[in-house]
Amino acid sequence: MDPPPFLSLPESSPSQVKRTLEAHLQEVNKRIETVATLGGTLLEQQQQIEARIKELREGGDQIGPELKKKLVELEKEYNEVGRESARAVLINKIMAGNGGNSGNTSPYGAGNVRLIYSP
């Protein structure tokens, strides 16, 4: 059973409540900053993926060395952003008291995907 919230305890002084609220606000601001940064990274990645899809459509059956290089880099970035996303979710769940159980049962972990290229 969870203890009663600190803010609702009758013995909490106004200064204690104010400090607690300020700490909560600071933590929320950190979470917002983390999510905003991650959101920007995901939008950038979305544009890169769309550009590679367009290149693949335009290239027909050919994947040239330059496109292959771009695809390899995109795969690395995709996996890294997946790990960052998983970390951010895990941290937020731990901070929210969920213990970090994100429900991900994948044996590969969140965000670890292998793109396969065949010429």
pTM greater than 0.75 (yes/no): no
108 band by pLDDT with thresholds 50, 70 and 90: very low
Region of poorest pLDDT, from 44-53, 57-66, 83-92, 102-111:
102-111
97 band by pLDDT with thresholds 50, 70 and 90: low
Mark 42-73 as b/e (b = at least 16 C-beta within 10 Å).
Answer: eeebeeeeeebeeeeeeeeeebeeebeebbee
For residues 58 and 66, the answer to whether their CB atoms sit within 8 Å is no
Contacts 24+ apart (CB under 8 A), 66-75: 68/117, 71/115, 71/117, 74/45, 74/48, 74/49, 74/115, 75/114, 75/115
Apex CA 77: angle with CA 73 and CA 81, to 5°? 175
